[in-house]
């Protein structure tokens, strides 16, 4: 049994996971306090969970963290965490829990989870795209995550899709993330209607037959689909797995994604690249992803 | 000693290569005739070269071929070769020469050559970009070529850089290849001056101080640089190696490439990704690349 930890900007979830993918027990703590306070609380909570389930020790710990670097075991300059600079989280957790610990970013962890337990079982070459507040990416090639030179490959949300387009949180203009995330959809709605609303409200309006809301989903999907066609030209995957809050819009989003991707693909790939939805329960997906990383140690 | 074969649309070059990268002997034949005639002539010529150099046999054969698929050993639907459909070239050559044969496409072979003998020695994560008649790409990650699901990863020339832009040879619009290749530069010159000229003539005009020609190189370089920044976000390489005929323009092209790439990169990568020119002698580069593939067998 291993531990999977999903560190988010406000809360951290963790779970004790059997290698068949069942989450035996779960817990969560707030992401906050000083770094030492946080790591102490996390490790005591996790160890408590392990003991409560009749185990002396866990075999390994996997963590999905914002800006988590697999190569170094450090969180590096995450903007949405209280601790700045470079945080050697894997070493700290490993020392306190007494088991090896590996980290990576959330989208990479999600890719490992889908490959072991979800939509990408049996698929060795795929691209994971998470559509949440931002857009994350994880690339699997030959059955292994592509980490790149510095551990930060797969920053798919920061590919430029609109020259001089919307300002992105990264300070540049026109990133995929500024359009095809929950935040992007909400912004499209504000530009269109002048009203503040969440992507969920836009989804509801589309389901209720509001034409403007349906158009936002078809335009968002078309932009994502065209961009996915470019990613296919780079890594030639068998499938693309889509997860994250915005993907709950289902076919309203995925149908235009498929259409635009197929129209944009080179002839040799047309009709051959599958777009799949995450096949993990959304509450446990991140923990299962992190646990999958632990199982690779 | 191994054989490296570079199959082009009009001629095929081959060389006997020592593992230190010296090309001991070379030859070439036309790419043409029926497939059987061509393979017979190629294999007899190669075997003759081997025997003439006092060897009984070569250890392995590597080939760079248009649309060469490493996974299957077949050339698949190459548009600029006389043989249509799927050509099992690796098996045919291997049977006739009596040594194992592996194939891949030209840009992938170039990447292997740069990694073993050229600008990418000691670099495990890099992107190879070949700027010739078209634009080719080869992606090396963790010291290995990224082939993707079907063997055709790295089609970097067919990433869309201009929505509804120039018509590309692939039938779609706005591909990188339609702008940042020798053909693309020649087309930019025609659009600008109304005259037909080669990319070499445009280069000469730029060197002679013609402003329009200098602008074509700075615009071509800027477009390439912006696009490379997107590739960096996908695979996070340590360096990008640029080769091919158009790259002989040197700093006239590379200076705007570096500037635009650095301006477009995410902050964490600014100033960190090196743009390198091929460090292989241009006459032997393709044969050395193919020989590097043979050395991996």
Tokens of B248: 């002989």
Of the candidates A146, A237, A266, the beta carbon closest to that of B235 is on A146
- The reply to whether B193 touches chain A by the CB within 8 Å rule is no
Nearest to A236 among B150, B159, B163 (CB): B150
Q: Is A79 on the interface with B (CB under 8 A)?
A: no
Low-confidence ranges of chain B (pLDDT < 70): none
Q: Tell me: the pLDDT tens digits for A158-182?
A: 999 999 999 999 999 999 999 999 9
- Over the stretch B120-149, which tens digit does the pLDDT of each residue have? 999 999 999 999 999 999 999 999 999 999
Chain A residue at shortest CA distance from B237: A149
What is the average pLDDT score of chain A?
Answer: 96
Q: Give the domain A2-108+283-295 fold.
A: Nucleotidyltransferase; domain 5 (3.30.420)
Q: Do B77 and A159 touch (CB under 8 A)?
A: no
What are the sequence ranges of the domains in chain B? Answer: 2-108+284-295, 123-277
How many contacts does A have with B, using Cβ atoms within 8 A? Answer: 117
Which pLDDT does position A272 carry in this prediction? 97
- Asked whether this complex has an ipTM greater than 0.90, the answer is yes
Q: What are phi and psi of A33, to 5 degrees?
A: 80, -170
| B187 phi, psi to nearest 5 deg | -70, -40
Cβ-contact A180, A187 below 8 angstroms: no
Q: What is the pLDDT of residue B86?
A: 96
DSSP per-residue string spanning A27-42: EEEES-S-HHHHHHHH
A195 burial (CB, 10 Å; 0-12 / 13-18 / 19+) is exposed
Identify from B230, B262, B265 which residue to disrupt to test chain A contact, counting A C-beta atoms within 10 A and taking the largest count: B230
Residues of A in contact with B155 (CB under 8 A): 233-234, 236, 266
Cβ–Cβ contact B171 with A under 8 A: yes
Q: Distance (Å) from the C-alpha of residue A293 to the closest C-alpha of chain B?
A: 18
Q: Closest Cα partner for A140 from A116, A176, A174, A160? A: A116
User: Alpha helix (H) ranges present in A122-250?
Assistant: 182-193, 199-207, 211-235
Residues B236, A147: C-beta atoms closer than 8 Å: yes
pTM of the model: 0.95
Contact B238 A149 (CB under 8 A): yes
B154/A contact by beta carbon, under 8 A: yes
From chain B, pick out residues whose CB is under 8 angstroms from the CB of A141: 141, 146, 148, 153
Pick from A172, A236, A266: which is nearest to B148 by CB? A236
What is the rounded CA–CA span in Å between residue A275 and residue B262? 33
Region A175-194: what's the mean pLDDT?
97
Which residue in B235, B237, B266 is closest to A170 by CB distance? B266
Is B233–A159 a contact, with Cβ atoms under 8 angstroms apart?
yes
- Please check whether the two domains, A2-108+283-295 and A123-277, share a CATH topology: yes
- Architecture label for domain B2-108+284-295: 2-Layer Sandwich (3.30)
Task: Measure CB to CB from residue A234 to each of B76, B149, B159 and give the nearest one.
Answer: B159
Query: pLDDT tens digits for B151-165?
Result: 999 999 999 999 999
pLDDT at A40: 97
Closest residue of chain B to A164, computed from CA coordinates: B264
Token pair recorded at residue A233: 């030209």
Task: Provide the angle, in degrees to the nearest 10, between the axes of the packed helices A211-235 and A182-193.
Answer: 140
Q: Which CATH number fits domain B123-277: 3.90.1210.10, 3.40.630.30, 3.30.420.40, 3.40.50.1400?
A: 3.30.420.40
d(CA B162, CA A39): 48
B170 touching chain A per CB within 8 A: yes
CA A64 to centroid of chain Cα atoms = 9
- For B58-71, the pLDDT digits (tens) are 999 999 999 999 99
Q: Sorting pLDDT into bands at 50, 70 and 90, what band is A276?
A: very high
Question: Can you give the pLDDT at residue A80?
Answer: 84
Residues in contact with B104: Cβ distance below 8 Å, sequence separation at least 6, in sequence order: B63, B64, B65, B68, B69, B70, B112, B145, B147, B151, B293
Tokens 């059955």 belong to which residue?
A143
> Kind of pairing, strands A74-76 and B23-30?
unpaired
Tens of pLDDT, residues B69-97:
999 999 999 988 999 999 999 999 999 99
> Which B positions 223-262 lie with beta carbon below 8 A of chain A?
226, 229-231, 233-238
Do the Cβ atoms of A146 and B172 come within 8 Å? no
Q: What is the pLDDT of residue B112?
A: 98
Spatial separation of the C-alpha atoms in residues B65 and B52, rounded to whole Å: 25
The answer to whether the beta carbons of residues B179 and B162 sit under 8 Å apart is yes
Query: Residue A79 — pLDDT band, cuts 50, 70, 90?
Result: confident
- Name the percent of chain B in helix, strand, coil, to the closest 5: 40, 20, 35
Of A152, A229, A231, the CB nearest to B268: A152
Mean pLDDT over residues A88-101, rounded?
97
């Amino acid at each position: 049994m291993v531990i999977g930890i999903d560190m988010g900007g406000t809360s951290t979830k963790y779970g004790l996971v059997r290698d068949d993918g069942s989450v035996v027990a779960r817990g969560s703590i707030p992401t906050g306090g000083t770094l030492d306070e946080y790591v102490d609380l996390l490790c005591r909570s996790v160890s408590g969970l392990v003991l409560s389930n009749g185990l002396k020790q866990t075999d390994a710990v996997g963590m999905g963290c914002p800006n988590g670097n697999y190569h170094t075991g450090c969180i590096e300059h995450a903007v949405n965490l209280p601790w700045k600079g470079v945080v050697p989280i894997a070493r700290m957790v490993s020392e306190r829990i007494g088991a090896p610990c590996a980290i990576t970013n959330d989208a990479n962890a999600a890719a490992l989870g889908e490959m072991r337990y979800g939509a990408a079982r049996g698929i060795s070459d795929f691209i994971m795209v998470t559509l949440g507040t931002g857009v994350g990416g994880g690339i699997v090639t030959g059955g292994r995550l592509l980490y790149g030179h510095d551990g930060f490959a797969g920053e798919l949300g920061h590919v430029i899709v609109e020259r001089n387009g919307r300002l992105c949180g990264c300070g540049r203009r026109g990133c995929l993330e500024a359009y095809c995330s929950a935040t992007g959809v909400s912004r499209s709605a504000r530009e269109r209607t002048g009203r503040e609303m969440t992507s969920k409200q836009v989804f509801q309006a589309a389901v209720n037959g509001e034409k403007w809301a349906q158009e936002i989903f078809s335009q968002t999907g078309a932009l994502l689909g065209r961009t996915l066609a470019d990613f296919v030209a780079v890594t030639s995957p068998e499938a693309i797995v889509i997860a994250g809050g915005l993907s709950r819009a289902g076919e309203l989003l995925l149908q235009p994604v498929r259409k635009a991707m197929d129209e944009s693909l080179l002839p040799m790939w047309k009709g051959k690249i599958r777009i799949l939805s995450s096949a993990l329960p959304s509450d446990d997906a991140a923990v299962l992803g992190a646990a999958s990383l632990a199982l690779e140690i």
